[in-house]
Amino acid sequence: MPQFGVPKLLAIDDEPQNLELIKDALSGLDLDILTADGSLSGLEIFKRARPQIVLLDLMMPGVHGWEMLESIMAADPGAEVILMTAHYSTDSAVDAIQKGACDYLTKPLSIEKLRRRIALLLSEAEERRRTYELDHELLNACQFEGIVGRSPLMLDVFARIRRVAPHFQNVLVTGPTGTGKELVARALHRLSPVASGPFAICNCSAIVETLVESELFGYVRGAFTGANQDKVGVFEFANGGIVFLDEIGELPLASQGKLLRVLQNSEIQRIGSPVLRTVDVRVIAATNRNLRSLVAEGKFREDLYYRLAMAEIPLPRLMDRREDMPLLQRHFLEKFAAQYNKPVTGITRRAQNRMATYTWPGNVRELENTIGNACMMADGPVIDINDLPEPVRGLATAAQDDNLAPLHEMQRRHVIRVLEHVGGNKSQAAEILGISRATVYQLLAETKAKDGTG
């Protein structure tokens, strides 16, 4: 969990008297104030110190303020940038907000207004810090045996695991690829009466058909060419514990009959040996296929299916448990930030929105890989859209729709975005946009009529 120290503010202005004015105006606030008398030195200090707030003069020699704003936003999209200029216009204010600035102040600076605006940003930062702590506490509270979730579907999964674990002999875990079937199997093992026993994994889809029986049941020396010594199979190795048969739907029909015999009689026979060996093994089978359909097609034994499915735990797709997305994102963010030793503490809202529109065909595993890759690629303290892999980042439908919308519709949407940014304060939104409050109310009324909420 990241440490939150005293917030930093960087003032960038080529006029020394303005820098002194800012330092005097903000004295007394719980704030570490840094200054830079030029854009190049300012950008260098920004990248080194990573301040949360930046006061940026729009007109400076060298790099223009707009270019500086873009560089800051590229380095850290989570930074709060306030532009300062003596040449205010409504168009430039709107342009500043669209480019990522949070506010636009006119020179000469009003000390009272500056203090009030910075105090509000500090209050919001403290609220985010507290929210982060609460999210962390919630994440800890919403984990069950290493599985993250609080949606009704996942709470039902947790309840099934609790009920089944103490009693099962055979259990079937079903669900699409990437939904966490192995995590469920390990949870069942930890909560079972044989938790101290072995947990053996056999991926049925990864074994060549001719080697399935030797992997499951073992063989004796001389059983076939190359059998130079006795080999213990998975079932014998797991005696007193659990065998996890992953992708059971890929098991060949010939091997299914022998597996059924083991489940019925608790006996295995090594290839090449007439000796029957008794094993005390519980079996967890998992599949992403519809075994009922395979039974109907004659590709899976009906008697084996009913033996395995005495208890069944179905897992939902990630899209069916969307309410778990923020928790899962936080969980993987903390995991990979620690693993890669990187100071990544959050995900920008636009990156979260992009991930929320993605369909996640690979489910939780794909989300984990996405966050892991983004943590590796991120240069700053937050993950942004450009840090996401192409399949996720490539969804630009919403942005394209915005670009193709009529001018009046784009204006309405932008007013809504600014309102969201200032927490619904219509007067502040009107001031930022350079329009009257009456115009804001008119556009909101059109929104209600459009959405059918009026």
Note the pLDDT tens digit of each residue in 132-171: 788 778 888 899 999 999 999 999 999 999 999 999 999 9
Q: Are residues 164 and 95 part of one domain?
A: no
Mean pLDDT of 5-12: 88
- pTM, to two decimals: 0.72
Please check whether residues 14 and 116 belong to one and the same domain: yes
Return d(Cα 47, Cα 36) in angstroms, integer.
13
Domain boundary among 279, 314, 349: 314
Write down which residue in 314, 344, 378 finishes a domain: 314
Residues 187 and 298 reside in one and the same domain: yes
Give domain status of residue 28, yes or no: yes
Instruction: Return the percentage of the chain with pLDDT > 70, whole number.
Output: 89
Confidence at residue 400, expressed as pLDDT on a 0 to 100 scale = 40
Residue 224 lies in domain? 146-314
Strands 282-287 and 147-148: unpaired
The residue length of the chain stands at 454
241 or 207, higher pLDDT: 241
pLDDT number for residue 432: 66
**Lowest-confidence pick of 186-190, 236-240, 381-385:** 381-385
Selection from 39, 48, 103, 102 nearest residue 71 by Cα = 39
Average pLDDT over residues 246-271: 92
Residues 6+ apart with CB under 8 A from 160: 313
Which residue bears the tokens 């199997």? 185
- CA-wise closest residue to 85 among 4, 15, 9: 15
> Does position 102 have pLDDT exceeding 70, yes or no?
yes
96 in a domain, yes or no? yes
Contacts of 3 (CB under 8 A, 6+ apart): none
- Boundary residue ending a domain (292, 314, 336): 314
Query: Is the preceding peptide bond at 166 cis, omega within 30 degrees of 0?
Result: no
Q: Is residue 247, in this structure, part of any structural domain at all?
A: yes
- pLDDT grade, residue 408 (50/70/90)? low
CATH of residue 413: 1.10.10.60
Residue 319 lies in a domain: no
Residue with tokens 């179905």: 314
Task: Report yes or no on 3 lying in a domain.
Answer: no
More confident residue, 96 or 201: 201
Contacts of 378 (CB under 8 A, 6+ apart): 342, 344, 384, 387
Residue 396, pLDDT > 60, answer no
What is the rounded (10 degree) CA torsion for 259, 263, 269, 275? -160
Higher pLDDT, 435 or 26: 26
Total domains present in the chain: 4
- Does some domain include residue 2? no
- The pair of structure tokens assigned to 50 is 């990573």
Q: List the CATH number of the domain containing 213.
A: 3.40.50.300
- From the CB of residue 420, how many other CB atoms can be counted at a distance below 10 Å? 11
Asked whether residue 291 falls in the same domain as residue 342, the answer is no
Backbone angles phi, psi at 346, to 5 degrees: -165, 180
- Using pLDDT thresholds of 50, 70 and 90, give the confidence band for residue 453: very low
Q: What is the CATH number of the domain that holds 57?
A: 3.40.50.2300
pLDDT digits (tens, 9 = 90+) for 17-75: 999 999 999 988 889 999 998 877 888 899 888 898 999 988 877 667 788 888 888 88
Q: What does the mean pLDDT of the chain come to? A: 86
In a domain, 206, yes or no: yes
* Whole-number pLDDT of residue 423: 61
Q: Are residues 26 and 135 in the same domain?
A: yes
Does residue 129 share a domain with residue 35? Answer: yes
Whether residues 299 and 277 share a domain: the answer is yes
How would residue 399 be classed by pLDDT, with cut points 50, 70 and 90?
Answer: very low
Given a cut of 80, whether residue 305 has pLDDT beyond it is yes
363-377 vs 349-357: helix crossing angle, rounded to 10: 150
- Average pLDDT of the segment spanning 320-342: 93
CATH of the domain at 363: 1.10.8.60
Joined tokens for residue 344: 């990544």
> Is the Cβ–Cβ distance between 85 and 65 less than 8 Å?
yes
- Mean pLDDT for the stretch of residues 394-402: 47
| Domain co-membership, 341 together with 426 | no
CA gap 42, 245 in Å, rounded: 59
Let me know whether 219 and 303 are in one domain: yes
- Per the CB < 8 A criterion, the answer to whether 119 and 29 are in contact is yes
Burial of 87 (0-12, 13-18, 19+ CB in 10 A): exposed
183 and 290 belong to one structural domain: yes
Structure tokens that stand for 74 in this block? 């590229």
